[in-house]
A = this chain, B = another copy of it.
Amino acid sequence: MAQVYERVALIGLGLIAGSMAHAMKRRGLAGHIAGFARTDETRKAAAEIGFVDSVHESAAEAVKGADLVVLAVPVGAMGKVAEEIAPHLAPGATVTDVGSVKQAVIDAVGPHIPEGVHFIPSHPLAGTEHSGPYSGFATLFENRWWLLTPPEGADPDAVARLRALYEGVGANVDTMEPGHHDLVLAVVSHTPHLIAYTMVGVADHLRRVSQSEVIKYSASGFRDFTRIAASDPTMWRDVFLTNKDATLDILGRFTEELFVLQRAIRMGDGDHLFDYFTRTRAIRRGIIEAGQDTDAPDFGRVRKG
């Protein structure tokens, strides 16, 4: 594949940045990959694994001469990093980010971006419950969505070039208005994560059911919740703090619905439960057909033993 950027600077070297670097190297999409991470430990790990060509002591150093700068830090840290790098950005460079919330990032980062630099926020809908420099892998973005939320009047060439990079690492690219992005994500990601965290927390508190029982018998539904609830705490704290309104809106609807089902259980209203459970089946079919999950009878999971 042809090179898309000459010099890419990754600010933050966790799961997403690491996976981007692995994928860009494998496909020859970047001439040079410069990296910066806040801790010594992560910088050393990235250098050792070798997914960056140069590791820098500051974000300002890392972005020098880069034609693409990727902010891959928790949403709550984006503003400070943007302020730090702003004076060092090359004219004509593109700055993007990979945060899970878009309006808050635009509000925090936007004001720091100098004239002549393109700011095109983005969000890859890909990840695992792992984090840190050792968690990345080249195929993370394959057949996953990568959403762009370019501001009105964004340079079409800059947008097309960023899209080419993301398609180059295997993603399907779509554009969206930032507020709508935040609402959609509140539904398909943020609220489900909060619910999973909550359910795992409930299991953790119970005295009559032991921890070891919860762990042993987790295969029957709870297991998927624990995987979701093992995601990076810093990242998710920032998501909920910065996508507060949409998350609280969807949470309110969720609690209402839950109370209606809870009442049906209490009153023994089997018809209500049956009808509800029948409707939810249809959505699943849509997802299978859209190719976003496997239909394998064991969920495609590796079996042990």
Cα distance A152–B206 when bound, in Å? 27
Cα distance A192–B143 when bound, in Å? 28
Closest 5 CB pairs of A and B: A230-B284, A233-B277, A189-B220, A224-B224, A143-B305
Contact between chains at A241 and B268 (CB < 8 Å): yes
Residue of B nearest to A170 (CB): B305
Task: Point out the residues of chain B lying under 8 angstroms from A224, CB to CB.
Answer: 192, 224-225, 227-228
Minimal beta-carbon separation of A75 from chain B (angstroms): 11
Residue of B nearest to A125 (CB): B220
A86 within 8 A of B: no
Residue of B nearest to A304 (CB): B291
Task: Point out the residues of chain B lying under 8 angstroms from A230, CB to CB.
Answer: 280-281, 283-285
Contact between chains at B222 and A187 (CB < 8 Å): yes
Contact between chains at B218 and A287 (CB < 8 Å): yes
Cα distance A254–B299 when bound, in Å? 27
Q: Could you pull out 21 A-B pairs where Cβ atoms are within 8 angstroms?
A: A137-B298, A139-B303, A142-B305, A145-B216, A145-B217, A187-B202, A187-B214, A187-B222, A192-B221, A195-B258, A196-B221, A200-B280, A202-B254, A216-B290, A223-B293, A233-B273, A233-B277, A241-B265, A244-B268, A293-B301, A300-B302
- Tally of this chain's copies: 2
Cα distance A135–B295 when bound, in Å? 11
Interface string of A259-284 (1 = CB under 8 A from B): 00110011010100110111111011
Q: Which of A53-61, A89-97, A101-109, A245-253 contacts B (4 or more CB under 8 A)?
A: A245-253
Minimal beta-carbon separation of A160 from chain B (angstroms): 22
